[in-house]
């Protein structure tokens, strides 16, 4: 097989983020450089308040940098208007949140289908995508259940399916095990590893060093700066 350079999916150049209040400014990110290639599994770690969630919000187009450039799939996105950001977010980015963020009065199926409905996707295609995504996370047998009828681990699996349904360029996971006990946390991490092995690009924020080691590469933040970057050695 011919070797080829991995395709760059995300490029951050000199990204800084400053939050202003009446009497002070807080530098949440300072001169961050970050490249993520297609198919990589990246973890972002560091102490509370170091800028992890701010960085993930910028990567997910939920926030904009105060300074610096953000290139996603070859296109600069740091200055886009809100409607364009929302459209790209819906098509390119899958979110997995600590709190699951499922809608309680929608079934499992409807929760996974909702982002696809916003795209105006035909019903037959939505149905196929939802079924495939739920099967991938082992929840195909729970399509008619409501979130309240599921355990925390099952709810997070549905949240992963919702992120996968749109076939995003990258999955952004914000403390995906934070609300789970250790057994369910391990199961969700195993699921993310399986998805990565099948080709998914993942960027995960975690405070747990055990889970950070699941990634190919760990970015360690401190006071808004990248202070260390380490690459995991694959087992022989």
The enclosing domain of 139 has a CATH number of 3.40.50.300
Domain count, the chain: 1
Distances (CA, A) of 200 to 42, 44, 150, 172, 185: 11, 17, 26, 11, 19
Specify if 14 maps to a domain: no
Distances (CA, A) of 91 to 86, 95, 162, 163, 170: 9, 11, 12, 10, 10
Structural domain of 99? 40-64+81-230
Per residue in 135-173, pLDDT (tens digit) is: 989 999 999 999 999 999 999 999 999 999 988 999 999
Specify if 129 maps to a domain: yes
State residue 121's pLDDT score: 87
Specify if 164 maps to a domain: yes
How do 170-174 and 93-96 pair as beta strands?
Answer: parallel
pLDDT (mean) for 91-108? 92
Specify if 10 maps to a domain: no
State residue 68's pLDDT score: 96
pLDDT (mean) for 94-106? 92
The verdict on pTM exceeding 0.85 is yes
pLDDT (mean) for 42-69? 93
State residue 1's pLDDT score: 42
Specify if 163 maps to a domain: yes
């Amino acid at each position: 097989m011919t070797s080829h350079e991995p395709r760059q999916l995300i490029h951050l150049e000199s990204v800084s983020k400053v939050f202003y209040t009446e009497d002070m400014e807080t530098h949440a990110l300072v001169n961050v450089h970050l490249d993520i290639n297609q198919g990589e599994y990246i973890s972002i770690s560091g102490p509370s308040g170091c800028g992890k969630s701010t960085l993930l919000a910028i990567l997910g187009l939920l926030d904009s940098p105060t300074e610096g450039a953000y290139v996603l799939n070859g296109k600069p996105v740091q200055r886009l208007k809100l409607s364009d950001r929302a459209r790209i977010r819906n098509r390119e980015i899958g979110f997995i949140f600590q709190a699951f963020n499922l809608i309680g009065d929608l079934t499992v199926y409807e929760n996974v289908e909702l982002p696809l409905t916003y795209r105006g996707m035909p019903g037959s295609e939505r149905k196929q995508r939802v079924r495939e995504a739920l099967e991938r996370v082992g929840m195909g047998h729970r399509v008619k259940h409501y979130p309240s009828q599921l355990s925390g681990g099952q709810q997070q699996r549905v949240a992963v399916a919702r992120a996968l349904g749109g076939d995003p360029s990258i999955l952004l996971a914000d403390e995906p095990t934070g609300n789970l006990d250790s057994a369910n946390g391990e199961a969700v991490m195993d699921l993310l590893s399986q998805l990565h092995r099948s080709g998914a690009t993942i960027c995960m924020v975690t405070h747990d060093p055990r889970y950070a080691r699941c990634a190919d590469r760990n970015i360690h933040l401190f006071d808004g700066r990248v202070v260390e970057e380490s690459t995991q050695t694959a087992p022989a």
